[in-house]
Amino acid sequence: MSCPVAICWWAAALAWALYNNVTRRYACGSNGVSLFFIVTALARWLKFAFGTQQEAMHVSAASLAQVLFVGASTAVACSAWNDGIQQGNLPLLATASCFTPVLSALLASLWLGLTPPASFWQGVALITAGSLIGWRATYRL
């Protein structure tokens, strides 16, 4: 990983952590997901318009359907996360969020018609065990 890419990853991780810790206190029930999508889309279109490596864009009904599906599912997920951060049970939300990469990889493998290898299922088992241990450590009877 090159240095600028690593800096972007660290900046994104820091921004995500700050968002999750500050939202509950200062959002007062407001949802910033729509603004986030607008700014992200604008940044992506600007990068596409002014980028040095432009590829031809091919639009078809199938590609448009995929973009709409991914966009809608991402919007619903981000809105649900935002509501969970503001009004939900944070230990339960943190535990459930451990399954997001697993579900994402599983959905991608189904979408692409791939069979996950045994190492994927071993990782699922480890993530599940770690998540349940973390949840049990924060659970109050």
pLDDT for res 140: 66
Q: Inform me whether the pLDDT recorded for 24 exceeds 80.
A: no
pTM: 0.60
Q: What is the pLDDT of residue 60?
A: 92
Give the separation between CA 95 and CA 127, rounded to whole angstroms.
10
Q: What is the dihedral of CA 10, 14, 16, 17, to 10 degrees?
A: 140
Cβ neighbours for 131, distance < 8 A, ≥ 6 positions apart: 95, 96, 98, 99
Q: What is the mean pLDDT of residues 88-94?
A: 77
